[in-house]
Every structure is written in structure tokens, then in C-alpha cells.
Chains A and B, each alone.
Chain A
Amino acid sequence: DAKTTQPTSMDCAEGRAANLPCNHSTISGNEYVYWYRQIHSQGPQYIIHGLKNNETNEMASLIITEDRKSSTLILPHATLRDTAVYYCIVRVATGANNLFFGTGTRLTVIP
């Protein structure tokens, strides 16, 4: 699976949009981009995934660049409960049983 690069930490003001970047310059055509988050002392939580097109669900939006070498997870109105470590993961569609989490981005939402 392609490796990802994320900033170590970010801050965001409560109520503002949180934009979390991820670089995956070696991504292959059959690899998806997944985002998970892990709130302190809890297990990881799936957020969203995509292949080429932008995706949106009730939690977040995922913007993937046209060349697919980077993506941005957007939390439109960050709340204090969104404070967590956010993991960007690249995974092939089939045959991969591993999810390589890396160290993620620690997002702190500030009141």
C-alpha cells in the first residue's frame, strides 16, 4: 500500500471548518483513500473513503485532487468532540487485510 504523509498536529477554532491534509504521492490507480479518527481512550472510528471523486457523508467531506496524490478531510463545523487523532490510509480495493494507520494528525479543537 502507498504511504501517506500527514502533519503531526493542527489546531482549529470551534465552529470553524477543520481541513486536514494528506499526501499520498505514490498512490496507485486501484487504491482508495480512507480516513479514520481516534478519540482519546477509544478505538478508531471510520469516517469516510473515496477513490477519485469527492465524497461527503454526515461526518465529513473528502476532497481528492485530480492527480490523486493528495487529499483533504473537511469537518465543516468543528466541535470540541472532534478533538482526536485523524489517520489517512491508502488501501487497495481487494486482497489487503492490513490497514496501515501511521501516526496521524492530532487535531485539537479550541473553544
Chain B
Amino acid sequence: DTGVSQDPRHKITKRGQNVTFRCDPISEHNRLYWYRQTLGQGPEFLTYFQNEAQLEKSRLLSDRFSAERPKGSFSTLEIQRTEQGDSAMYLCASSLGETGTRFFGPGTRLTVL
């Protein structure tokens, strides 16, 4: 399968713990996006990378969140000191260049107890 993959698919953690998610985009795609989706809502933009550079961050991305794409390939999203309000589906997408046509991964569902 050459689509966008995310790992893990599900994560349950206790409040205050740190969690890290990984996204592997489609190999030739230079843009990578992170979104968050809560129940009943559409995905909300968090941040995006062009190659290894993080070019935009939403106000939703608090200082407890950090994202990296060190070699311009896979990306990680870390949440420190998780809160119950962080419970959501975290989606990754990639695209080739600046386009509205994006390919999404299956998401990582985070549950904070």
C-alpha cells in the first residue's frame, strides 16, 4: 500500500503523559499536514510542512504540541502533558505541492483518561 500511513491507530493514555504519533506520507509528496478531528466535527488544521520546514501553525497548536519532519519524509506529532480535551482523532495528509487535493491517512485515535 503506497498511501499515507499513521502509527499507532489507537492510543489510550492517562492524563499528564506524553504521546507521540507518526505519519508516513506518500513518498514523493513534499507537503505534509496534521489535522485534529473531534466527534461530530470536521477535521481542523493544526500545522503543515513543506519538506522539513514547518511553515504554518494553527492557534489550535498549543505549546504542549510539537511536530517535526526531520528529513522531509515522515513526521511526528508529540503531545506533552496530555489533557482530556486532547482526546480526538489526529489525521495526517500529504500532497505534491500547493494543492487542495490531499491524501489522508487513517488517523490515530487518542483517548486521554
**Taking beta carbons and an 8 Å cutoff, which residues of A are in contact with B?**
32, 34, 41-46, 49, 85, 87, 89, 91, 94-104
In the complex the two chains form, is B40's CB within 8 Å of A103's CB? Answer: yes
With A34-B100, A43-B104: A98-B45 Cβ-Cβ less than 8 Å? yes
In the complex the two chains form, is A46's CB within 8 Å of B42's CB? Answer: no
Q: Does B107 contact A (CB under 8 A)?
A: yes
Separation in Å of the B13 CB from the closest CB of chain A? 20
A-B contact count (CB 8 A): 52
Separation in Å of the A43 CB from the closest CB of chain B? 3
Number of residues in B with C-beta < 8 Å to the partner? Answer: 23
> Given B40, B45, B104, which contacts A97 in the complex, CB threshold below 8 Å?
B45
B residues within 8 A CB of A96?
Answer: 100
B residues within 8 A CB of A91?
Answer: 100
In the complex the two chains form, is A87's CB within 8 Å of B42's CB? Answer: yes
> Given A32, A41, A95, A101, which contacts B43 in the complex, CB threshold below 8 Å?
A101
With A43-B104, A43-B105, A44-B91: A94-B4 Cβ-Cβ less than 8 Å? no
In the complex the two chains form, is B42's CB within 8 Å of A103's CB? Answer: yes
With A43-B91, A49-B101, A97-B48: A104-B55 Cβ-Cβ less than 8 Å? no
When C-beta atoms are compared, the residue in chain B nearest to A94 turns out to be: B98
Q: Does B2 contact A (CB under 8 A)?
A: no
Cα–Cα distance between A99 and B98 once the two chains are bound (Å):
12
When C-beta atoms are compared, the residue in chain A nearest to B40 turns out to be: A103
